[in-house]
Structure 1
Amino acid sequence: MKINWKGVMPAVTTKFTAEDTLDLDMFTVNIKAQVDAGVHGIILGGTLGEASTLTNEEKRILIRETVKIVNGKIPVIINVAEQSTVAAKQAAKHAKEDGASGLMMLPPMRYKADSRETVTYFKSVANSTDLPIMIYNNPVDYGIEVTLDMFEELLNECSNIQAVKESTRDISNITRIRNRFGNRLAILSGVDTLALESMLMGADGWVAGLVCAFPAETVAIYALAKSGRTQEAIEIYRWFLPILELDINTKLVQNIKLAEVATGIGTENVREPRLPLIGTEREHVLAIIEKGIKTRPNLPDYKQYLD
């Protein structure tokens, strides 16, 4: 499936049972809620997906299950976050075999590669597959920035590198990318608390986190913003912001899973070493979520603006 890199693409959580196995029943409930809300793709195995705790076989199961659930309606994308080029190539190969539509790729993990090494890594993996690729550029959390010059080299040599998940936290980088590359590189905001601002500055979409619990509100913001109904989008976004800030936190997985419980499309089971929130930390997060639920806005018919 060709990927149109735009719209809302949830970085979905991985659902676990109390026995620490994949909870495919609740996973299906959540994915169907995302599709029903009008999301434009599903991204598996990111930070929110607790990828570092998943086995390779579990990742493959999640791809195959998601492909079945969405049934060709939207693309299924798997995150590739590996320590070696060999492992990344293998992950890309498995993704293709299991029916994924594309890849989201981080730079090499653990080792802080320099610019030459990072570009070589991306080229090597991209040239090993025909799947379309979105580069995840998050120097804040992962320590390696993919600069515009690096993107220039990658775009000139790898036609399947097509998009960036822009998570530098520098909103002006949207304009720099657009000025440099025009429409050669699609831009999706990767920071929930900068998503609307990014789209108003020209980003094509939003790789979202709290969409896992609030799919309709997230897609509504995108649809309204892109259809010129900016004030309506801002009003929903203002309501959403305190909840969105739960994503900018080291406990984002636990936070968002609590929100999924509140909206009935998830459980709070996490995989160790993560543990469920307790005490005042839990109370604080629940208070934010509960206030959001109580003041949840009535949404306009936003789907009429989706294309």
Structure 2
Amino acid sequence: MDSIKVFAPATVANVTCGFDILGFAVENPGDEIILKTCKKPGVVIREIKGDEGRLSHAVEENTATISILNYLTHVERDIGLEVYLHKKMPFGSGLGSSAASSVAGVFAINQLMGQLLTTEELLKFALEGERVASGTGHADNVAPSLMGGFVLIRSYDPLDVIKINTPENLHAVIIHPNIEVNTKDARNILKKNVPIKSAIRQWGNVGGLIAGLTMNDFGLISRSMEDAIFEPVRSMLIPGFDQVKASALEAGALGCGISGSGPSIFALSTADGTARKIGTVMKDQFAQIGIESEIFVSKINQKGPVILD
């Protein structure tokens, strides 16, 4: 094999109560990458599409190629490689854009090299891409993009990641308003200390959400999708958030919250038709305050990255 094309999915991180520890993959949008071997040693970025010229072509500064470089160093392979990256999701959207590129890169190179490492072993290399993008290696986007499905990060030191079983008919709707929220800004506004009462409430919701997912208990999922700590602060960065969330719940959503650090908002439902109805009313709410938006509807993506023809 001398070339490969891979798709890696976008993700929803935090999932209301699971700040920095929960995330799930969706079927769309996502990023695509093409790797081609060449005779001249070294990794070079030949083309980046869909980034409006915002991404660096320096391989040490790009999330996709830094994960590839670290992988090649680890497996002690010195090859020539041309990289073509197609960004197919908006920047600063809260959908794990940098994570999808990093996962696409490391998954593709592992396939090209004959799958020298397991999926679990690839995670630390994908995290390097996140570290380049945001300064920290958070796994709540990277892990679900790489592993697929709904993922719990139980610990970062040592890294302990668990894939959670989810109901077959669980659907997600994501709406991305045409505004941008900087991840660092969204993290900097958070309070450094949390009241014990709020923390206990949050822990109960995390446990309830995981139990609801594994038990196929939609009532428990719905009751547990509450963020008592971070959403009240971060939602101030998203115009119309309260109205959009209320409209989603009225339209039948099990729960609704901020995707990652925003501005995208997600909701969960039990059917595709309900999810599309929820997306429509959320879009209408943004339109009423003059904000254009884009809707994505899908089941939970259980596969993670895939090889494209």
TM norm structure 1: 0.32
Bigger strand share: 2
Relative contact order, CA 8 A, sep 6+: which one is greater? 2
Structure with greater Cα Rg: 2
| Higher helix residue share | 1
TM-score (norm: length of structure 2): 0.32
